[in-house]
Each structure stands twice: as structure tokens, then as C-alpha cells.
Copies of this chain bind each other. A is one copy, B any other.
Amino acid sequence: MRFFSALRRVWPPGIAALFGLAFTGAAGADTVSHFTLDNGLQVVVVEDHRAPVVQHMIWYKAGSADEPPSASGVAHFLEHLLFKATDTLAAGELSATVAANGGRDNAFTSFDYTAYFQRVAADRLALMMQMESDRMRNIRLTPENIATERDVIIEERNQRTENNPNALFSEQKRAAQYLNHRYGVPIIGWMHEMQSLDMQDALTFYDRYYAPNNAILVVSGDVTPAQVRGLATRYYGAIPANPDLPPRLRSQEPPQTAERRIVFRDPRVAQPYVSRSYLAPERDPGAQQEAAALTLLAELLGGGTTSFLTQRLQFDTQIATYSGAFYSGVSLDRTTFDLVVVPGPDITLTQAETALDQALDAFLTAGVDAGQLARIKKQIRAEQIYARDNVDAIANRYGQALASGLTVEDVQAWPDVLEAVSADQILSAARKLLDKRASVTGWLTQEEPS
């Protein structure tokens, strides 16, 4: 629960990881069932009987973007605090119990959700639900918990952000991308706000958001829907819904009408690069077409060795030693489409950026290569088929999607939506996306830029 506390796109160990979002397809033929308990708890069951193990996850539809002003980091802070005592469990007892039963457990926090999971032998599922449902309502925090765990998250920020120019750059760039939305505030929190997080901040967030009508239970592995329904009703069904759960409305962006740039200089920068983000639409319930087009666009532009940017910037010319394009539409509110160019030897950031812009123009002029699009769609279908073997990944996919405002049906429709995207739709989405007025261009550099 300490060092797996957020999306890796946010805590990059390096450039590659920063932009190394896996392309995750969806699950056309997943053995998935879902239902909702009377108290509002959504339940998703992913059956896989090949091994006698289960993954048990609780996703709260509350992440850093749901935090109140001045309390950034409290979603992640609370995630840490959920490993402290409850009425019936001592601090650390839940994890110790999972380990004693041969399992492992952890948790993570993102902009739109906070999730807790255990992976254990299938016959321990009831015990997991007993403990997880307990800490949904019964945590008992002490002032010492607050002081100690606040030090832990501050040290976590020191290690992951303050000591990492990539992360600091990414944070400043994101703050420049969002003019009004909380996605501009880092998941882990601004240091000065983390330092003043207190028991009241944590409990207010907990009392408001940790409730069955704001949660999704996902169980994958060697279980049946009937088993999960029985256990979930017994353990989670007893918890009343929170009647005061607020509607999930965040401050939305105003029109972004002025192109932005930032330069971040740090003597620790080993590898300068240019990074460009555009504000981009997300997948919405029943309306995933544009996000699907952008998903394919990212693959076409910068998804691997045959992609447009790679061909043009790394092979046709030696402008770049690395280039990439990244987009994930799973997001409650507007997300970003990201491009990166790491210049080759003796190439300046100016040259790299100019080459990037020329390549984007060339792509819009050339249009989508039909053969390349067909190859990418085929590759995605293959990945989706492989992905069915990874039952935990399927559980993650459903939990993340449902916590981000999508439905089970949206997840199941996604492969077909992707398949149906035409070259024209991709080009049209690209033209709409690549509007510099809604973009931030960032330079990470050690020196004064040339």
C-alpha cells in the first residue's frame, strides 16, 4: 500500500514509463456478470476457473479530482490510512492476515478512483469481504496514525516527485493544461497542502465517499456469480447507503483559447525532451466513437516502430531517438492526448519541436494509410484475445471503467467501436484534436534552450 499508490503515468521512473501507457483493448468475450445490491453497490464478477485463486477489489468512485480545495492528496492519504485499525482489526492486521493466508494486497489512487485489492486462494474470499467491508465504514484513526502516515506520503512525494525532474515537469505541465479542472492538481498532492492534511480532512473524505452506493466490487477468478452475490450481500449488503453522497460534478474547463508553453530547467535532467499535450475528449457512456478514433490515432502516430512519427523522426531522419503518442480515454472528464519527442544527438529542442509540428502537418495532409490502419486493428484484436487470459487485467479494466463513468456495456462494446472506426473518422478526430489553443508544449531541459 505504500509504493503502488497511483497510476504509473503519474509517477514515472523515467521517460519511457512516463509515456509507456499500455494499450489496453477490451473484452468482447469475457465471462462477466454484473448486478447491483439494494444499497447501491455495483458488483462485477469475472469468472475464470483455471486456477483456484480470486482477486477481490473494491473501487471507490472518489479520487484526487474529488478532493475539496486546499486538501490535495487527501484521497491518497486516506488510502494509506485504510491500512490502520478498524473497530475489529488492529493496524496492519488486514495485510498481515492476507499474507498469512498466502495472498497479497495493495491499493492505488488515481484522479477518478481509489481501489483496494487482495489476491488470495478462492476459499478465502469471505474473509477478504469481511475485512474489506469492515474498513468501508469502521476505520478508527489516532492522531499518531495521522502524523506518521502524513510523514510517509510526504516522503513518498519527496522520492517520486521532488527528486525527479520528469515528474516535476509533468506536474507543472499538467497544471498549465487544466485551467479550472482538478486534473491539474497532482494525485499525490501539492507538498504545501499535504503538510497540513489532518484527521478531519481524511474523515470528511471517508464519510462522504466510502459507502456502498459509491463503490464497485469486482471479483475475478475461481468464483461463480451466485457465490459472489451471496457473500457480497452478507458482508457489504449490511452497510447502508450514504444518503448524502453528493452528485459527481467537478469544475469543468472553460474554452481553452491560448496556446501555452512551459520550460522546465533542472540540472539533474539527463535527457531533454519535448512533450506536447492536447486537451482531448474521454470515453462517455454510449458515446465512445471519438475516443476510439483517438485511440487509433495514438497508435498510428506513435504506437511503435511502424508508426508515422517513428518512421519520420527516427528512421527517415535522425531527429529523434524516441517518439511516441499516448492516449487513454478512460477518464470521467476531459483527458489529454500526449506526444513526446526525445531529440537525437546535436538536435536542439527547437529542431525537435519543429520536426514534430511538420510531421503532424504531414500526417493530416497524407491521411490515414489503409494498410497501416488494418494492421493496427488486427494487432488490437490480437491483444484483446491475449488479454482474456489475464483475469486480473480484465477485473482492472472493468473497475477502472465503471469508476470513470462507463458501464459494463460500454466496456463490452469497445472492441466493436474500435473496429468500426474509419480512416476518415480518425482524420476528422485528429483535425479537431490538434488545435494548439488547447495544448501545452513543454520543454524539459538542463540548459538554457537554444
Cβ of A239 < 8 Å from any Cβ of B? Answer: no
Query: Given contacts A257-B168, A259-B263, A442-B258, are A180 and B190 in contact (CB under 8 A)?
Result: yes
A264 is contacted by which of B68, B184, B257 (Cβ under 8 Å)?
A: B257
A264 in contact with B254 given A179-B175, A180-B185 (CB within 8 Å): no
Any B CB within 8 A of the CB of A2: no
Question: Whole-angstrom distance from the CB of A420 to the nearest CB of chain B?
Answer: 31
| Copies of this protein chain in the complex | 2
B260 touches A176 (CB 8 A): yes
Please choose the segment from A148-156, A245-253, A299-307, A391-399 that sits at the chain B interface, where 4 or more of its residues have CB less than 8 A away.
A245-253
Task: Scan A44-80; emit 1 where CB is below 8 A from any B CB, else 0.
Answer: 0000000000000000000000001110100000000
Any B CB within 8 A of the CB of A268: no
Report the minimum CB–CB distance from A256 to chain B (whole Å): 8
Closest residue of chain B to A259 (Cβ to Cβ) is B263
**Judging by beta carbons under 8 Å apart, are A176 and B179 in contact?**
yes
Within the complex, the shortest CB–CB distance from A181 to chain B, in Å, comes to 10
- Minimum C-beta distance from A353 to chain B (A): 13
Is A160 interfacial (CB 8 A cutoff)?
no
What mask results when residues 228 to 263 of chain A are scored 1 for a CB within 8 Å of chain B, else 0?
000000000000000000000111101011111111
Known: A184-B179, A185-B180. A70 touches B168 (CB 8 A): no
With A172-B179, A179-B172, A179-B184 already in contact, the answer to whether A192 and B258 are too (CB < 8 A) is no
How many chain A residues have a CB neighbour from B under 8 Å?
Answer: 36
Given A70-B249, A262-B259: A254 touches B180 (CB 8 Å cut-off): no
Check: A191 CB closer than 8 A to any chain B CB: yes
Question: CB of A116 within 8 A of chain B?
Answer: no
A193 within 8 A of B: yes
Separation of A260 and B443 alpha carbons in the complex (Å) = 10
Query: Of B252, B261, B437, B442, which contacts A192 at CB under 8 A?
Result: B252
Question: B176 to A69, Cβ gap below 8 A?
Answer: no
Listed residue (A72, A169, A261, A263) with the most chain B CB atoms within 10 angstroms of its CB: A261
Within the assembled complex, what's the spacing in Å between the Cα atoms of A106 and B64? 41
How distant is A426 from chain B, measured CB to nearest CB, in Å?
27
A-B contacts besides A72-B251, A176-B179, A258-B264, 12 pairs, CB < 8 Å: A68-B69, A70-B249, A168-B257, A172-B179, A172-B258, A180-B185, A190-B254, A257-B264, A259-B262, A260-B260, A260-B261, A260-B262
- Selected A-B contacts with CB under 8 Å, 25 pairs: A69-B250, A70-B251, A70-B252, A72-B180, A72-B251, A168-B257, A172-B179, A172-B257, A173-B258, A175-B180, A176-B179, A176-B258, A176-B260, A179-B184, A180-B184, A191-B254, A192-B252, A193-B251, A257-B264, A258-B262, A258-B442, A259-B263, A259-B264, A260-B262, A261-B261
Nearest 3 Cβ contacts at the A-B interface: A172-B258, A175-B179, A190-B254
